[in-house]
Amino acid sequence: MATSFIFYDRRGNAVSPDAQSIITPRRGVFALVVAVDDDAVLLTAEACAPEVPELPGGGIEVGETLDDATKREWAEEVGIAFDVKGPLRQFQHVRGFYADHRNEFWIYDQTFRLYQFQGRVKIGQKWLNPEGGTAGWEAVASLPKLSINRAHWCAIPTLLS
């Protein structure tokens, strides 16, 4: 499939598909959840890339709404209860993504949604999530110092402004 997209991995490196690569369209939804009382956001990290935090979320399954997919992905990637209400705002972009842990190239239509979390959190505390990665709260002020997934970093400042 010929494409004009530039593909990036989660670390922000450009990756070029070769003639045998399969490029598929994919839709995803990601939750930027802000703990209002502590000025913190919830980030996850996959076991295959623990040094690259990202927002909880992922692919939308056939027949799922954005709300359904957000709730499912939150449960899979975070493992704590959160009554998903909202969102307050959303940001959408389509980009070329190289899913290095799956050796797949996607034209990824990503929707990022902003939610508020009511309650106290422990900034810096990490826990194992149900998928084998980690989840934890990070102070909003520390976000620019982290190596956040490139696509997710594009959405975060827009949603927080």
- 74-96 pLDDT tens trace: 999 998 877 777 889 999 999 99
Please tell me which residue, 49 or 2, carries the higher pLDDT value.
49
Please tell me which residue, 118 or 108, carries the higher pLDDT value.
108
Tell me the average pLDDT across 7-15: 93
Is residue 2 a part of any domain in this protein?
no
Is residue 71 a part of any domain in this protein?
yes
Is residue 1 a part of any domain in this protein?
no
- Residue 1 predicted with pLDDT over 60: no
Q: How many structural domains are present in the chain?
A: 1
Is residue 99 a part of any domain in this protein?
yes
Measured at the alpha carbon of residue 79, what is the angle toward residues 57 and 66, in degrees to the nearest 5?
A: 30
- What would the pLDDT profile of 14-31 be if each residue is shown by its tens digit? 999 998 999 999 999 999
Is residue 41 a part of any domain in this protein?
yes
Is residue 113 a part of any domain in this protein?
yes
Contact 44, 77 (CB under 8 A): yes
Q: Residue 19: which CATH number?
A: 3.90.79.10
How many whole angstroms separate alpha carbon 127 and alpha carbon 142? Answer: 19
**Cα separation values, 142 from 41, 119, 149, Å:** 10, 20, 15
pTM: 0.92
Query: Mean pLDDT for the chain?
Result: 92
In this prediction, residue 3 carries a pLDDT of 65
Which residue's entry shows tokens 């239509």? 109
CA proximity to 46, closest of 9, 21, 15: 9
| Segment holding 14, helix H or strand E | strand 14-15
Residue range of the domain that includes 56: 7-160
